[in-house]
């Protein structure tokens, strides 16, 4: 650790304090004399991870980095507070700023991260490996998204309301006080964030001009987020379209374009995925039915069985008590 002109440079070979938190999270913390600086990481599945960074250095800080990930990765960074920057050895610069989303793709490359003294920096990072991106969008679209350079800045733009809503939900789940992480909720919000960025970086119908503007895509994403947060309510297409300020036919066509599903199909999927998680936690069928928008438990059981191919009782046994 070198100090020069009151600026500290933390080298790669200098140890960070590593500790294990609940829910499979790992924390890397810088020495206390540098301030309150730590980063928590959790792996959701092979090739997909979440990182919560919180740095308040007591001195100007330069932290060496070599891209700790194997192979090519895409990193989505949502700035929640403050600002910082990254300077790659190839002179590529990345900016991270409150209210903005920075997307980069890279292989391991030396560089440095810079933080100002006394300024709190809070960021959420989604790390997706090339293999995972290929799994969800195919090799051709993955290649369009990632590019071929060793380090590429794919995007730097104001975060959409939908992205910020997902980020805030993820951060609340990752707080140290959360001893038990809701893996399903983490997965839903993380994949929703990824899908938004895939749609903006490389639209699914890349051979044609997109029929939707970035503003319309943002509104469609916001409608889906509203569905996710209100699955217990009798949502209608008219209501969602009015809420986000878009024509209802445009909303329906947009969801088909982005998600290959109608609004009704998306709402059913959100309800059934949430229902499975609630039943697995030990809640009764009647309780779960009400929480995912069904007035009568029998109607919920029929819908659940049709969607999952098994009844709640067949899937969860004695945990799925009917009443």
The domain 2-160 having CATH identifier 2.60.120.260: the answer here is: no
Residue 53 has pLDDT above 60, yes or no: yes
Residue 261 has what pLDDT? 82
CATH fold, domain 214-319, is Arc Repressor Mutant, subunit A (1.10.10)
At 1-47, the pLDDT tens digits run 555 556 888 888 887 899 988 778 899 999 988 999 999 999 998 99
Contacts of 274 (CB under 8 A, 6+ apart): 184, 231, 291, 292
pTM score above 0.85: no
Residues of the chain with CATH 2.60.120.10: 2-160
Residues of the chain with CATH 1.10.10.60: 214-319
Residue 204 has what pLDDT? 58
Which tops the pLDDT comparison, 109 or 52? Answer: 52
Q: How far apart are CA 127 and CA 49, in angstroms?
A: 5
- Report the percentage of the chain scoring pLDDT > 90: 34
At 72-124, the pLDDT tens digits run 889 999 999 999 998 877 667 888 999 899 998 887 677 889 999 999 999 99
Tell me what the mean pLDDT of segment 124-143 comes to. 87
């Amino acid at each position: 650790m070198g100090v020069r002109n009151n600026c500290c440079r933390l080298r790669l070979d200098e140890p960070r304090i590593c500790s294990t938190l609940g829910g499979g999270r790992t924390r890397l913390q810088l020495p206390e004399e540098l301030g309150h600086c730590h980063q928590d990481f959790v792996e959701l599945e092979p090739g997909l991870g979440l990182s919560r960074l919180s740095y308040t250095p007591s001195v100007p800080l330069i932290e060496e980095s070599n891209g700790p990930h194997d192979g090519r990765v895409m990193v989505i960074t949502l700035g929640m507070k403050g600002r910082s920057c990254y300077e790659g050895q190839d002179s590529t610069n990345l900016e991270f700023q409150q209210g903005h989303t920075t997307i980069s793709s890279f292989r391991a490359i030396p560089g440095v991260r810079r933080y100002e003294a006394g300024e709190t920096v809070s960021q959420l990072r989604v790390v997706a490996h090339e293999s995972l991106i290929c799994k969800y969008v195919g090799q051709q679209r993955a290649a369009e998204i990632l590019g071929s350079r060793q380090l590429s800045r794919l995007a730097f733009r104001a975060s959409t309301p939908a992205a910020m809503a997902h980020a805030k939900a993820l951060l609340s789940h990752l707080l140290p006080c959360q001893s038990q992480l809701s893996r399903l909720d983490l997965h839903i919000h993380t994949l929703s964030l990824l899908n938004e960025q895939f749609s903006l970086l490389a639209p699914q119908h890349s051979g044609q001009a997109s029929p939707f503007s970035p503003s319309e895509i943002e509104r469609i994403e916001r409608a889906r987020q509203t569905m996710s947060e209100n699955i217990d309510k009798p949502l209608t297409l008219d209501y969602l379209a009015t809420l986000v300020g878009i024509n209802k036919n445009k909303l329906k066509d947009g969801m088909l374009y982005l998600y290959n599903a109608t609004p009704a199909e998306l709402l059913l999927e959100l309800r059934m995925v949430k229902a499975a998680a609630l039943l697995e936690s030990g809640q009764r069928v009647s309780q779960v039915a009400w929480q995912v928008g069904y007035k009568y438990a029998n109607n919920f059981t029929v819908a659940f069985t049709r969607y999952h191919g098994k009844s709640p009782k067949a899937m969860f046994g004695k945990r799925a008590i009917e009443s």
